[in-house]
Structure 1
């Protein structure tokens, strides 16, 4: 709602191009007509690129350790996944 109340604030402009916040902030900027068509296209392209990159990284990590289970925390498990992936590439 802050984006609709003051769409010209810098934080709203920046957040509208960050892929996680674009779907929540950009519609308010479009409704208040403070963004151009170029800005809309740029936000959509950034979201598509971000989605493709995240999907590719997920695919690589899953391929390297799809059946690895761990009781460690999320970051420790991700580190283990990364190390397994790197060791498989060196083979």
Structure 2
């Protein structure tokens, strides 16, 4: 799960992991754990994921630009030739 801070990555993971919070998300969880950043290079080499989900906020152009940079990196490194990449626009930030 890759994307700018605050675009809804944690909410998506919560929905994949359990139906308990389906269609709702407690934003205070982000406050509790603070902002997290992820290095695409380290994530790909350390975890060797089967796929990537690149998330951006449809109301925040900088998050879309960050998603575009991430997709370009994945393409340059040849990741998109062998793995699935999903792009998801979230309607909130």
TM-score by length of 2: 0.30
Structure number with higher strand proportion:
2
TM-score by length of 1: 0.30
Structure number with higher helix proportion:
1
Higher relative contact order (CA 8 A, sep 6+): 2
Q: Which has the larger radius of gyration?
A: 1
